[in-house]
Homo-oligomer: A and B are copies of this chain.
Amino acid sequence: MAEYSIGLDLGGTNYRAAAIDREGRILERIAGATGAAREAILGEMVTAILRLRDNRRGDELAGIGVALPGFILMEKGLLLKSPNIPSLENFPARDALQARLGVPVILENDANAAALGEKWIGAGRGCDDLVLLTLGTGIGGGIISGGRVLRGSQGMAGEVGHITVNPTGMPCGCGNIGCLEKHASATAIVTMARMLNLGENLTSEEVYKLAAGGSEPARRVFQSMGSALGIGLANLIQIFNFPLYLLSGGVLAAWDLFAPAMFEELSRRSLTYRAAAPRVDKAILGTEAGLMGAAYLPFSVN
């Protein structure tokens, strides 16, 4: 009797679910759109999970892991705050799912789940201590310490998008000035390109193409972004002395443009980087990391 788990990665507009075995092989997968109302969302999740389970009768289901965007109160099994899925805020989602499914359910923040996924079968395989930064519209973070997610008191640990990299830098919606995500995210790239009059409605991909095509101002955008990322990473390296720091997100396509400035800051700013030579590298699971990490949750507690 083969053992498997079901992972579900719930986003604001769609979800992905999969039945996955202990070696990380995807046995079956389902994807769909996410509704807005709480009942619709829960119904879709339950339907997807039951379908995956019904197709594996005779196998043993270790449990269900769900990755969600937002702060999660682990003890209560609920989303405390989630701008992307507001209808689930402060609702005991874990218990509601368990009641309908009759199987243990574990919730996890999506960036934490992505870090766990990379640790399990991604670029962090075999590494029990790592930090993952997801560079997207914002910057999220997941910290794995001693093989487990570092959650902090209220599940808010790893909010590295809002560490200060420039105390007099760009203002942030969080109230701070100079947050990492205001200087090193895809959004920051677009903002900087606009400040340099490269175009009003450019995407970060288009800024990348300009830079790759030789535009000096566009190249400076990525140098500035890499430099800010280097300052943030240097701080993390000084604090953790971990062997591995992973970057993920669409911006990774521009690695060759931002990485030199990033490594220059690391060498200059972190004694621990120079002495301990940790690996700073690309994550490899891409948008699958959260799904894989979600599926790993039931295995990690058994």
Contact = CB atoms under 8 A, between A and B. Distances in A.
Contact of A176 (B141, B145, B268): B268
Contacts of A150: 145, 240
A270 to B, nearest CB: 7
A21 interface: no
B159 A238 contact: yes
Contacts of A268: 175-177
A167 interface: yes
Interface stretch (A31-39, A86-94, A229-237): A229-237
Q: How many copies does the complex hold?
A: 2
Interface in A225-282: 231, 234-236, 238-243, 268-272, 274-276, 278
B231 A156 contact: no
20 contacts: A129-B153, A141-B239, A145-B145, A145-B150, A150-B240, A152-B241, A153-B243, A153-B278, A157-B240, A157-B242, A159-B272, A163-B238, A164-B231, A164-B235, A165-B167, A166-B167, A176-B234, A176-B271, A177-B268, A236-B239
B156 A276 contact: yes
A151 to B, nearest CB: 7
* Residue of A129, A154, A269 with most partner-chain B CB within 10 A: A269
Please provide the 4 A-B residue pairs with the shortest distance between their CB atoms, ordered closest to farther: A152-B241, A156-B241, A157-B241, A163-B235
Contacts of A238: 159-160, 162-163
On chain A, which size bracket covers the interface?
Answer: 35 or more
A143 interface: yes
A298 interface: no
Contact of A164 (B141, B157, B234, B275): B234
B162 A271 contact: yes
